[in-house]
A and B are shown apart, each in its own frame.
Chain A
Amino acid sequence: MSKVGIASYGITKFSKDDSKIESVLLKSTKKLFDNSPNLSRNDIDAVLVSTNNNSKYLSAILSEMSGIEPKIAHSIESLCNSGTNAIISAYSYIASGLADVVLVSGAERYDSPGQILEWDNSRGEFKHPIFWASIFTKAYKREFSVTDEELAIVPVKNHKQSQNNPNAFSDKTYSLEDVINSKKLTDDLRLLDCSRPCTGGASILLASENACRRFTDEPVWITGIGQKTTSAGFTKNMAFSSMESTQFAASTAFKMSKHNVNDVDVAEVHDAFSVCEPMALESLGFTDKGKGMDMIKELYTTNNLKINPRGGLIGSGHPLGATGIAQTIEITQQLQSCANKRQVENAKIGLVHNMSAAATSSTVLVLER
Chain B
Amino acid sequence: MNFESELKKGNFIIAECIYCKKIVWPPSEFCNQCFKEVSWRKGSYEGTIIEFSKQNENYFCLVEIENTIKIIGKVSSGIPNTGQHVKIERCGIKDENYYFEMSLL
Please list the residues of chain A having a beta carbon within 8 angstroms of any beta carbon in chain B: 118, 121-127, 131, 134-135, 137-139, 142, 185-189, 233, 235-236, 240
Can you list 25 A-B contacts (CB < 8 A)?
A121-B97, A122-B69, A122-B72, A123-B72, A124-B72, A124-B100, A125-B72, A125-B74, A125-B97, A125-B98, A126-B72, A131-B72, A134-B55, A135-B53, A135-B72, A139-B51, A142-B51, A186-B53, A186-B55, A187-B53, A187-B54, A189-B53, A235-B70, A235-B72, A240-B50
Q: Closest 9 CB pairs between A and B?
A: A235-B70, A134-B53, A187-B54, A121-B98, A126-B72, A186-B55, A124-B72, A188-B53, A125-B99
B53:A236 contact, CB within 8 angstroms: no
Shortest CB-to-CB span from A118 to chain B, Å, is 8
Bound-state Cα–Cα, A49 to B97, Å: 31
Shortest CB-to-CB span from A358 to chain B, Å, is 11
Shortest CB-to-CB span from A273 to chain B, Å, is 13
Bound-state Cα–Cα, A118 to B26, Å: 13
Bound-state Cα–Cα, A163 to B92, Å: 47
Chain A residue numbers with a CB within 8 Å of B73 are: 124
CB-based nearest B residue for A139: B51
- With A123-B72, A126-B60, A235-B70 known as contacts, the answer to whether A240 contacts B51 (CB < 8 A) is yes
- With A123-B72, A236-B70 known as contacts, the answer to whether A186 contacts B54 (CB < 8 A) is yes
Shortest CB-to-CB span from A86 to chain B, Å, is 27
Bound-state Cα–Cα, A227 to B42, Å: 38
Bound-state Cα–Cα, A333 to B62, Å: 42
A-contact 0/1 string along B52-64, CB 8 Å cutoff: 1111000010100
Shortest CB-to-CB span from B90 to chain A, Å, is 11
CB-based nearest B residue for A120: B26
Decide if the interface of chain B is mainly helix, strand, loop or mixed.
strand
Shortest CB-to-CB span from A104 to chain B, Å, is 32
Is B94 close to A, CB under 8 A? yes
CB-based nearest B residue for A126: B72
Bound-state Cα–Cα, A134 to B54, Å: 9
Residues facing A in B60-101 (CB within 8 A) are 60, 62, 69-74, 82, 94, 96-100
Chain B residue numbers with a CB within 8 Å of A118 are: 96
Chain B residue numbers with a CB within 8 Å of A139 are: 51
Bound-state Cα–Cα, A138 to B73, Å: 16
A135:B51 contact, CB within 8 angstroms: yes
CB-based nearest A residue for B96: A118
Chain B residue numbers with a CB within 8 Å of A236 are: 70
A-contact 0/1 string along B16-50, CB 8 Å cutoff: 00000000011000000000000000000000001
Bound-state Cα–Cα, A124 to B97, Å: 6
CB-based nearest A residue for B95: A125
Chain B residue numbers with a CB within 8 Å of A124 are: 71-74, 97-100
Chain B residue numbers with a CB within 8 Å of A186 are: 53-55
Bound-state Cα–Cα, A134 to B58, Å: 13
> Which residue of A121, A187, A188, A236 has the most chain B CB atoms within 10 A of its CB atom?
A121
A125:B62 contact, CB within 8 angstroms: no
Shortest CB-to-CB span from B5 to chain A, Å, is 14
Bound-state Cα–Cα, A137 to B54, Å: 12
Bound-state Cα–Cα, A286 to B70, Å: 30
B97:A122 contact, CB within 8 angstroms: no
Chain A residue numbers with a CB within 8 Å of B96 are: 118
Chain A residue numbers with a CB within 8 Å of B100 are: 124
CB-based nearest A residue for B91: A124
Shortest CB-to-CB span from A187 to chain B, Å, is 4
Bound-state Cα–Cα, A135 to B73, Å: 12
Shortest CB-to-CB span from B49 to chain A, Å, is 11
Shortest CB-to-CB span from A237 to chain B, Å, is 9
- One of B25, B51, B98 near A138 (C-beta < 8 A): B51
CB-based nearest B residue for A127: B97
Shortest CB-to-CB span from A240 to chain B, Å, is 6
Bound-state Cα–Cα, A235 to B64, Å: 9
Bound-state Cα–Cα, A135 to B64, Å: 14
> Which residue of A125, A135, A187 has the most chain B CB atoms within 10 A of its CB atom?
A125
A233:B53 contact, CB within 8 angstroms: no
CB-based nearest B residue for A233: B26
Additional pairs, 13, CB under 8 Å, beyond known A125-B97, A138-B51, A235-B71: A122-B71, A123-B72, A127-B97, A131-B60, A134-B55, A137-B53, A139-B51, A186-B53, A189-B53, A235-B62, A236-B70, A240-B50, A240-B51
